[in-house]
Structure 1
Amino acid sequence: MALGDVASLWIWLLAILILLTIWLGVKIVPQSEKHVVERFGRLRAVLGPGINFIIPFLDRIAHRVSILERQLPTASQDAITADNVLLQVETSVFYRILQPEKTVYRIRDVDGAIATTVAGIVRAEIGKMELDEVQSNRAALIGTIKTSVEDAVDDWGIEVTRAEILDVNLDQATRDAMLQQLNAERARRALVTEAEGKKRAIELKADADLYAAQKTAEARRVQADAEAYATGVVASAIADNGLEAAQYQVALKQVESLVALGEGSGKQTIVVPSSALEAFGNAFDLLKGRR
């Protein structure tokens, strides 16, 4: 082999080595990933999205970790409330990895570890509450579970983005007991509503009777006032004109009575007592005297 051929071979090998070094030293990381770089088995760096450079043959990408949000499979676990009711709770957790170096070096099975942590926290939190509180304060319970899970997985470089309680199931015996209680409560409310209706009807009737009595009393008072006024007028007339005024009023009443008797239907003959004639005369005399 000629010297020129050897030189050409070395140039080609050097060019290949340079290209290989560039190929191995330049790393492009996708936006949805982070790469963990090791040097001789130890953590060297964490590569973020974009173009990164490493030392070829010394550094290597040991882990490619997705930083997209993940959802754990729906898990179901048993829990007992403070009032000794057995529940079956279905939960789902969403999380993402923020620090891959912690995740890959501190925990082996991330999904399994989070699922176990969630199950323990759910049982502990539900054990502090009664059944009615679990049903009515589900949002507060979810918030407490999420906070507790975040604290537990903080050392793993994980962020819990959401925790959900999908369903809370009761055993059949508890369901039957709750149904009986619900029916009894409905019957009680119906009786209370009926009793309140009857009570209201009695109150309204009493108010109507009281109103009628008040109006009757007011009418009687007005009538009494009118009679008292008329009596006062007569008394005043007697006081002013003496006995003649009283006799005139009596005679006038007698005349009015006879006129009314004569105007009655079916009356062809009117018998007038002698006292009536005297009444006419007295009234006429008194009338002349008043004039």
Structure 2
Amino acid sequence: MRNEDLIAELIGQNVLFVLLAVFIVVCILAGVRIVPQSQKFVVERLGRLRSVLGPGINFIVPFLDRVRHKVSILERQLPAMSQDAITSDNVLVQVETSVFYRIIEPEKTVYRIRDVDGAISTTVAGIVRSEIGRMELDQVQANRSSLIAAVREQVAQQVDDWGIEVTRAEILDVNLDAATRAAMLQQLNAERARRAQVTEAEGKKRAVELQAEAELYAATQEAEARRVRADAEAYATQVVAVAIAENGLEAAQYQVALKQVEAFQAVASKQGNQTIVLPANAMDAFGDAFKMLKGRS
């Protein structure tokens, strides 16, 4: 009996050691948490927030601490949202937006807000309506970058209590209703027609200015030519006057005789059978001219 009691005692001790070893292994497994790089774990102890585990190996108290939430810290994109807004000049527009965000404080996100995406969507819709309500339609179309910056800044302020960082906020499109689009198209066509008329009028005005400049230039050149001819005639008259003053009446008669000879030569050089009638004293004039030429040579 003693051997049997000894064997039973040994078996009991071995079972106890095995159970103790299993308990230790379970405690180790329950107390060690390996957190991926893209996540954070929210730990509760008896139903209350205990800590937030970052990436890597972490230790918790087995059976007391429990990982309640595993939160991804990767950047997220909300589905494209579309909401109606009215500009300050009473134009109904439909704005399509998209928001990118990431969770930086999981303990705030899991305990302060239930539906993160829905809350951000509602916040963005309200801010977009408010900002567009301060602007006219032309400003909405022209200042889209400033509108995006204002929306991103206000959204970031609103979601700060939720442990969220808004990385980007985009306005994808601004659509108009059919009536407004037709009115804008009509206005655009009218503006194009006005610009075409202005361009045509400016072209005609420029053509008139160029024509006037051309006529003025032609008149200036004609006046200059007349002045040159007048100067030449005055110079010739001065030369003749000087010759008469120096040589007396013979110089004048010489010039007149030369002009007559040149005139008869021009008549005789024309083609065809021509009959030249000379005055009675023409030969005397030729004779005087020849005498003068002979005398001058």
* Contact 1:79 1:126 survives alignment (8 Å): yes
Q: What SS does the aligned partner of 2:281 have?
A: helix
Equivalent position of 2:24 in the other structure: 18
Q: Aligned pair count?
A: 291
Q: Tell me whether 1:96 sits opposite 2:102 in the alignment.
A: yes
SS in 1 for 2:122: helix
1:171 paired residue number: 177
Moved more, 208-217 or 117-126: 208-217
193-202 vs 111-120, which moves further? 193-202
Letter in 1 for 2:94: Q
Which of 234, 252, 256 aligns to 2:258? It is: 252
1:200 Cα shift? 2.3
What amino acid does structure 2 have at the position aligned with 1:158? Answer: I
Structure 1 residues 227, 115: CA separation in 2 closer, same or farther (over 3 Å shift)? same
Distance 2:224 2:76 in 1: 84
2:146 corresponds, among 137, 140, 143, to: 140
Q: For residues 1-291 of structure 1, what are the structure 2 equivalents within 5 Å? A: 2-267=8-273, 269-290=275-296
Percent same amino acid at aligned positions? 72
Moved more, 124-133 or 136-145: 136-145
Tell whether the 8 Å contact from 1:255 to 1:279 is kept in structure 2 after alignment: no
**How far apart, CA to CA, are the structure 1 residues paired with 2:124 and 2:184?**
28
> CA RMSD, aligned part only?
1.8
> Residue 158 of structure 2 aligns to which amino acid in structure 1?
A
Q: Give TM-score, length-normalised by structure 2.
A: 0.92
What do the CA deviations read for 1:85-139 (whole angstroms, capped 9, x no partner)? 1111111111110110111122222111111110111011101110011111112
For residues 45-102 of structure 1, give each alpha carbon's deviation from its aligned partner in whole angstroms, at most 9, with x where no partner exists: 1101111111111111111111111111222211111111111111111111011011
CA distance in structure 2 between the partners assigned to 1:274 and 1:228 by the alignment: 33
What is the distance in 2 between the residues matched to 1:71 and 1:213? 77
List alignment gaps of at least 5 residues for structure 1.
none
Secondary structure, aligned partner of 2:95: strand
